[in-house]
Amino acid sequence: MATTEMQRTLTIRPVTTALGAEIEGVDLSKPLSPDVVAELRQAMLDHLVIFFRDQTLNAEQYLAFAHTMGEPMEYPFVSGLPEASLITPVVKEADQTVNFGGVWHSDTAYLPEPPKATMLLARETPPSGGDTMFANQQLAYERLSEGFRAVLDGLTAVNSSVRADGIRTNVDKDVPADTETGMAGYSAEHPVVRTHPETGRKSLYINRGHTVRFVGWSEEESLPILNHLFDHQITEEFVCRFRWQPGSLALWDNRAVLHYPLNDYHGHRREMHRITLRGDKPR
């Protein structure tokens, strides 16, 4: 198989042993060879979140790269850019104090078929702060005791687009909450432990932002176990942290990763452009 110039310069540098890798030597504004696309897809499966620096992409180029990694889909509740409806602007203005999605979560777990992956491109960043944390949920599952894993393997959870008023963010704070079905009736039941459709590894698939209770259990019965798992999911050894700069791009596996955008940059504007890639029903 021929080796392209891009392949010879592509470098993958792990960020931590838990997850995350920075990719160097690739210009995402240009068409990528099938071999490079395959290598990037494998890097995401191996490291769960991959990072790129200094990527100057217009909307068309950003979408073109997204199409090499999956099928872009619309995001509920937030309109896309006028010139590109599949790109969702994620903006916190300098005078705002609440950020978008400011809780540990996986994206839209309340949909019947949540995204397989999410891409985020930094357009404007504060001088400091605004980092994003990521947590490996395959490790979170594997580090539980054998007995606890056996219990969780048989459970299904209810996931709602609004779990509680206390976690609502600037994207949804003006929409009336419905504790049973969430905003606009978005609610879905998914296995607490899902099997990755490409690697076969199991991971915890609950999150503090959306998971309400176990199916067949009350919220009061579910809460002690859920709170224990929510804390366990973000154990330090499962986590990496990414510092954004304009032109930084992150791509993460939404099937096996939680993320959390830090809200520590009041008085400064932050604008990110997000693309979500269509997934399948968790199993």
Place of tokens 């393997």: 153
Does domain 5-277 fall into CATH 3.60.130.10?
yes
In single-letter form, the type of residue at position 273 comes to: H
Judging by beta carbons within 10 Å of its beta carbon (0-12, 13-18, 19+), is residue 257 exposed, middle or buried?
Answer: buried
This model's pTM is above 0.85? yes
Give residue 100's pLDDT.
Answer: 85
Nearest-angstrom CA–CA distance, 26 and 16: 21
Q: Is 118 helix (H, G, I), strand (E, B) or coil?
A: strand
The residues that are catalytic are 105, 107, 259, 274
**What is the chain's pLDDT, residue by residue, as a tens digit (283 residues)?**
333 444 446 899 999 999 999 999 999 999 999 999 999 999 999 999 999 999 999 999 999 999 999 999 998 878 899 999 999 999 999 999 999 889 999 999 999 999 999 999 999 999 999 999 999 999 999 999 999 999 999 999 999 987 643 344 444 443 344 444 344 569 999 999 999 999 999 999 999 999 999 999 999 999 999 999 999 999 999 999 999 999 999 999 999 999 999 999 999 999 999 999 999 999 9
Q: Could you say which DSSP state residue 126 is in? A: -
- Please provide the distance, in angstroms rounded to a whole number, between the alpha carbons at the two ends of the chain: 36
Domain ranges of the chain: 5-277
97 in Cβ contact with 215 (< 8 Å): no
